[in-house]
Amino acid sequence: MVEMRVAGIGLDAASRSPIVLLRDPSGRRQVPIWIDQAQAQNILAGLSDEPASRPLSHDLMAALIDAGGLRLDRVVIHTIEDSTFRAVLKLIPAQAVGAGEPGPGESSSGNAKPATSLELDARPSDAIALALRTHSPIWMLEEVVADASIPVDAEADAEDQDKFRRFLDSTSPADLVRHLRQAKPEPGSTSEAESEPEPPAPGPGEEHDDSPGSG
């Protein structure tokens, strides 16, 4: 598996949909995942050092995990199905921290791995937002990185992130609600920005969303 970091939020030039960019340790590959504006704001809030005046949904999730005596050990984005990324949250008892819990790809021996560890299915966007708040690592299977990654274009990334921030700055809450309602799929259609139809092939400097997948 490959430990990824959140490189930032970009904006698709054609659809104006936000994209979260996950970058590998070498800095040469990144996996773009298309998300919606609300998901992007949740991730940006996690990236910010300034706490919200009131707890947001993912702040509450993190607090509930802690109150339940658990800890988010890591997030794993493990596959792409029907052009959609799939992720799991790996939770362990809080007292297991520092008790020799094996890392991704390592084998456990004896009782090093708690029997009460949990795996919960999650949307990649929610998993990423929660990982940022709990300072938990984000892992991705190598085959997923190989299938979905694109070469890094740092200059284009910076420009796209700036465009998205300007878009948020120029959009009122009412306009954002209208935008999200217009983007809502019809009944019976695939829901979530994480399962958008295949986008046009990105041109030079454009991001390629989570298609194969989305978060």
Q: What phi-psi label fits residue 64: left (phi over 0), alpha (psi between -120 and 50 degrees) or beta?
A: alpha
Greater confidence (49 vs 182) lies with 49
End-to-end CA distance of the chain: 18
Q: Where are the alpha helices (DSSP H) in the chain?
A: 37-47, 57-67, 124-134, 142-148, 154-169, 173-183
Distance CA 212, CA 195 (A): 9
Two structure tokens written together for 150: 């694109």
Cβ–Cβ under 8 Å, residues 53 and 44: no
**136 close to 127: Cβ distance less than 8 angstroms:** no
Q: Kindly report, residue by residue over 82-128, the tens digit of the pLDDT.
A: 889 999 999 999 986 554 445 444 444 444 554 578 999 999 999 99
State yes or no: pLDDT of 201 exceeds 50. no
Q: What is the predicted pLDDT for the residue at 48? A: 86
Average the pLDDT over 133-148 and give the result: 95
Which pLDDT does position 63 carry in this prediction?
94
Amino acid making up residue 72: L
Q: 172 CB contacts (<8 Å, ≥6 apart)?
A: none
pLDDT tens digit sequence for 44-85: 999 987 777 788 899 999 999 999 999 999 999 999 988 899
Torsion of CA 192, 8, 37, 78, to 10 degrees: 10
- Tokens 């094996």 -> residue: 102
Q: Of 163, 159, 214, 166, give the one whose Cα is nearest residue 191.
A: 214
- DSSP secondary structure letter of residue 204: T
**In whole numbers, what is the pLDDT of the chain averaged over residues?**
76
Residues forming a β-bridge with 120: 89
What are the Cα distances from residue 210, in Å, to 10, 12, 59, 67?
A: 12, 11, 24, 33
Report the alpha-carbon angle 158-164-169, nearest 5.
125
What's the rounded Cα separation, in Å, for the pair 34 and 81?
A: 15
Q: What is the pLDDT of residue 86?
A: 95
